[in-house]
Structure formats: C-alpha cells, structure tokens
Chains A and B, each alone.
Chain A
Amino acid sequence: MTARLLIVALLAALAVACGDDPSSTAPSSTTSTTTTVTYAGTIDVGGSRFYSFSNAAAGSVTAFLASVTSPATRLPVAVPLEIGIGVPAGTGCSTTTTQMVAPGLVPQMTVSLAAGVFCLRVADAGELRAPVAFAVRFSHP
C-alpha cells in the first residue's frame, strides 16, 4: 500500500468516526415529545367532564387541577374536585386512577401509560353546592 493510499483510507475512516450518530436523530422509543394541554370547562353539581387524548408513545402523564372558580365572579372556590385518568368507554371515561385534589400548580397525579387513547376526567364527588368552572393542566407523551 502506498503512503498516499494509506492517508486517504485513514482520513475516510476518520470522517466516518466523527459523523453524527444516526441513532440520535432517528425516532426511537427513548426520545419522546411531551404535549401540554389546558382543559377548562364547567361542572354542575354531581356532574363530570372528560377530555380524550392520544399518547404517541408510552410514558408518564402528569396532571394538576389548576383552578376551580365561580363562573359568575371568576374567583376561586374552596372545593376539591376529583381528577382521574382512564380509557374512553362509550360516551364516558372509565377511570383507572382517581384522586381528590384542591387546586395547585404542581403535579398532583402521575400515571405511567402505554401508547394509545386515554381520557382525563374531572368530576364532582359530592362537594359542590353550585356549578364551578375548572381548569386542569396535564402533560402526556
């Protein structure tokens, strides 16, 4: 092998060695995008509402009840609501995890889910005396 050929071969190897790792740009199961949703609405006494969402990949879903207010005054009402995560069932949401929570701004529920379609449900568990407006912020893969 001549010296020139040896140099060309080694520089070619060097170029390959310093290239971008293809696995860092290709989609993979360990790289995911999180979507954050603000779900707001009103709940009647004894009522519930739900929001369906699709997990693009397996991962954690976090949620917190950010706001419970009077629809008339838009000021906070001191009542807890039940938030839950489950799967759509017919015209409703069949929850597998629920929690009674008061409004806060840090995650109150974290659930590991597979990829697929799920739902987040907000419900009055007997605390309401009048309709309220609510807002839940949640993040999912």
Chain B
Amino acid sequence: MTPRPRVGPRLIVSVVAALALAGCDDAAPTTSPTPTSPVTETFSGQFTPGGSAARAFTAAAAGTVSITLTQIGPPSDAAVGLGIGIPQSNGSGCLLTQTVAASASTAPQITAAVDAGTYCVRLYDTGSLVTQVAFIVTIVRP
C-alpha cells in the first residue's frame, strides 16, 4: 500500500481562506440594468357626448409627467377637457388636480411634477361634442 502524500496545515488554511474570500464576494450582475425612465404609455379609446374616459398610470419615481392629446375625432379639431389627478381608492374614478381644454397636438398640454406613486389621466366632454369621439393620449412618466 502506497502511503498517501502528506498535506501540510498551512496549505489547507491557504486554500480554504482563498475559497472563503471568493465565496463571500457579492455576485456580479450578469447584465447591465436597462434604463427605464422616462416611460411612454399610450392611452386610447372612445367616449360619447357628456362622457369621459380615464386611465391610471404609475410613476416609478419622482419627476415630471407630460400628457399629450395626440389625436381625437371625428372631427379632428374637437376640443375636450384633459386632466391629471389621483385615482379614487376604490378605483371608481379620477380625482382631478388640474385640467386644460385640449385639442389634438404634438406638444404636451399638461406637464406636472409628481411624486412616485399612482396617478390618472381623464378626458371628458366639456359640452361641445355631438357624437362619439376616438382619442389617443400619450403619457410620458418617470
């Protein structure tokens, strides 16, 4: 029987210490985080004379929200109310903070500073609609 080679205690300590340092190191991320802000959301739908439409969105961080009514109609020059606020806690509506009269545009009609949290956009007839309209709203948020 061949005698086993002798391993010195110093070598064992060195190997285990090296393993300890390597094993306790924080795992390096395998991919770089993808920038997620600002985010653009599209809100589209229809509403009838006297009606309204609302949608909630979440700002992941404090920042600026821009809201643009990009398309509406027919007719394409229809004017409606556009507002931003916070959703009711029971989800039944949008409690408005500020509103503007808006027609289709490429420039934001509402720009608002917000804290991180959930907000809502509401479109509504201000009394001028005579038929159902379709709309597209763009929301840019943190």
Contacts and interface: CB of A to CB of B under 8 A. Distances in A.
Interface in B83-121: 83-89, 93, 95-99, 112-115, 117, 119
Interface residues of A, number: 29
B96 A76 contact: yes
A66 B89 contact: no
Contacts of A103: 97-98
Interface of A: 1, 3, 6-7, 10-11, 13-14, 17-18, 36, 38, 40, 62, 64, 66-67, 69, 74-76, 103-107, 133, 135, 137
Interface residues on B, range: 20 to 34
B86 to A, nearest CB: 5
A64 B114 CA distance: 10
Interface stretch (B8-16, B33-41, B70-78, B128-136): B8-16
Interface of B: 6-7, 9, 12-13, 16, 19-20, 23-24, 62, 65, 81, 83-89, 93, 95-99, 112-115, 117, 119
A10 B12 contact: yes
Given A38-B86, A40-B89, A137-B117, A67 B96 contact: yes
A10 B23 CA distance: 14
A7 B20 CA distance: 13
Contacts of A11: 16
A64 B115 contact: yes
Contacts of A62: 115
A104 B95 contact: no
B79 to A, nearest CB: 15
B86 A135 contact: yes
Given A38-B89, A67-B95, A76-B96, 20 more contacts: A3-B6, A6-B9, A6-B12, A7-B16, A10-B13, A14-B16, A14-B20, A17-B24, A38-B88, A40-B89, A66-B95, A67-B85, A67-B96, A69-B95, A74-B93, A76-B98, A76-B99, A105-B86, A105-B119, A106-B62
A10 B14 CA distance: 11
Contacts of B12: 3, 6-7, 10
A46 B23 CA distance: 66
**Most chain A CB atoms below 10 A, which of B16, B113, B119:** B16
